[in-house]
Structure 1
Amino acid sequence: MATAGAIRLLDMEEDIFGYSCTKTIGKEDLEHIFRHQELGVGVIHTYIRFLYDNFMRGNDQLSNRFRFVSSSLVNKALICREPDSCREYLVKRFMASSTNNLYLWPYNSGCHWLLLAIDPLKEVVYFLNSIDGEWTNYPDMKQLVDTSIKVFRSQRQARVPRTKSSNITWIKVQCPLQRNGIDCGYFVMRFMREIINMNQIEIPITYFDEYKCAHYTRLQLEQIKEELCQYFIEKRLISI
C-alpha cells in the first residue's frame, strides 16, 4: 500500500482479478462508507481484497473455487464503448477455470450494483439483484456474458447438446432485497461474503437457508462496514 496525497493506493495481486494492478481509494470513498452513501468501485474492490485476504488466502479450496471479475474492466460504460476488450478479458478469465469454479462479478449498471456469479464450465449464471429487477433489464451485460461463455466454449473445444448450444442458463436468485436507493453496494458485498462462506458452487434459487431473509437488517450491513473500516486501518488506508 502507498499513499499519494488524499489518495490511497492498494495493490491487487494477480490471483484476485487475473492481473496485477493498483486500485485507488479516494477520500470520498471513505466518506461514502462513514455516511452510508452509495459506493464506488474503489470500495467494492477493497472489500474483494478483504475477502481474499481473510477467507481465501492460504485456503486452497476457497482460492481455487472462487474467483473475481474486475468491475473496472467490465462495466456498463466499457461494455458500450469497448465491448471487444470486455469480452477478451472475460474469456481470458474463464480460460483459467478448472472444475468447480464460480466467478463473482459485481456489475455496475451506471447507477446500481448487482452481482453475477458465473460458472463458465456448466454455463450457468446466477443473477442476484437487490432491487428485484430482471436480467432482461440489462441487455448489453447479458449479451456480453452469453457471448463470452460461447467463445470460452469454443476455445476449449467443448461439446454441448444441440438444445444447449445457443442457451446459457440464467438463474434469478431470490436474494434479500434493499428498502432504499443506496444500499445496493453493501448488499453486493454481503452476497459475496455469504457465497464464499457457504463454499458452494451452486446457489439455491431461494438463496442459502442460513442467510435467507426478506431484507438485511441494519446490523447485517453494519458488519460489512465494520469489516471495511478495520481493513482500511490494517492496510493504512485510513489514519486513526
Structure 2
Amino acid sequence: MPLPLKTILRFAEKVMDKDLEIRYKLPFSLFGIGRKTCVLREDIIDFCNMREVKTLTLVAYMAYLHSQDELSNYIFVDPSLISVGHNTQEVRARNLCSRLMASKPNQLVLAPFNPRAITIFRSQKNIQTSRKQPIWKTMKCPLQVGVVEYGYYVMRYMRDIITNGSIVVTDFIDTRTSYSQLKLDEVRMELADFLGGHM
C-alpha cells in the first residue's frame, strides 16, 4: 500500500473515533451549491483497502479534481443529488436539470450515476411504466475486471477526461485494456492527499 494511503488509514483506524469524519467545504463553483460535507471514517478505511467507493468518497474526489484547475470546460453534478435513494424522482430530475441548465455551450457535464439502480428500484417496487424507453448511449471506458473497482474506474475516468483537456471523449480512451492497479492507486493517493489537507 502506498505511503499516503497507509498514513490516512492509520489515522482513521487509530485516531478517529467510530462516528468521526473528515469535514470540508464544497465551493459553490463545484456543484452550484456551496455546502459543508464529509467523508466518514468507514469510507476512508474502505477506499484505503480498495473496497467499494461510496457517494461521499466520490464527491470528495470530484472536489479534489475541481481544486486542481480552473475547469471551465467541465461542469460537475453532485451524485448524491441525482442518485436513487436520495429524494423523489422529481427532485432528482430537477437537480440534474438545474446543473444541465447551468452548463454553457461546449462544456462537458460530468455526472457519475449508476443507471442500474433504476432497474433495481423498479424491480423492487414492481413499477410498470407505459412511457417509451429512453435511448441510452454507452460511453467508452476501460474494461473493468472486478466487481468493486467501478468507483475507482469512475474517478480515474473523470481524471483522464479532464487531463485530456477535450470535451470529445469518445475516442481517446482505450476500451480494450483495464486500468492497472498503479493507475487506480494514483487516484487513491490523490484523494488521500486531499483529505489529509482537511484533517
TM-score computed with the length of structure 1 as normaliser:
0.64
Structure holding more strand per residue: 1
1:52 lines up with 2:52 in the alignment: no
Deviation readout 1:92-125 (Å, 9 max, x if unpaired): 21221221111111114587xxxxxxxxxxxxxx
Deviation readout 1:144-199 (Å, 9 max, x if unpaired): xxxxxxxxxxxxxxxxxxxxxx9987432331121111000000000100111112
Query: Which amino acid letter does the alignment assign opposite residue 148 of structure 2?
Result: I
How is 1:132-171 mapped onto 2 (pairs within 5 angstroms)?
170-171=136-137
> Percent identity, aligned pairs only?
24
Matched residues in 1 for 2:29 and 2:114: separation? Answer: 22
* TM-aligned CA distance change 1:84 to 1:137, over 3 Å: closer
How is 1:1-240 mapped onto 2 (pairs within 5 angstroms)?
6-54=20-68, 56=69, 59=70, 63-78=71-86, 82-108=88-114, 170-204=136-170, 207-208=171-172, 213-236=176-199
Structure 1 residue ranges without an equivalent (≥5)? 112-135, 141-165
Structure 2 residue ranges without an equivalent (≥5)? 1-15, 123-131
Contact 1:76 1:110 in 2 (8 A): no
Q: Which fold has the larger relative contact order, with Cα–Cα distance below 8 Å and residues 6 or more apart in sequence?
A: 2
* TM-aligned CA distance change 1:103 to 1:31, over 3 Å: same
Task: Output the aligned Cα RMSD.
Answer: 2.8
Query: Which amino acid letter does the alignment assign opposite residue 202 of structure 1?
Result: V
TM-score computed with the length of structure 2 as normaliser:
0.77
What secondary structure, in the 3-state scheme, does the structure 1 residue paired with 2:166 have? coil
What secondary structure, in the 3-state scheme, does the structure 2 residue paired with 1:77 have? coil
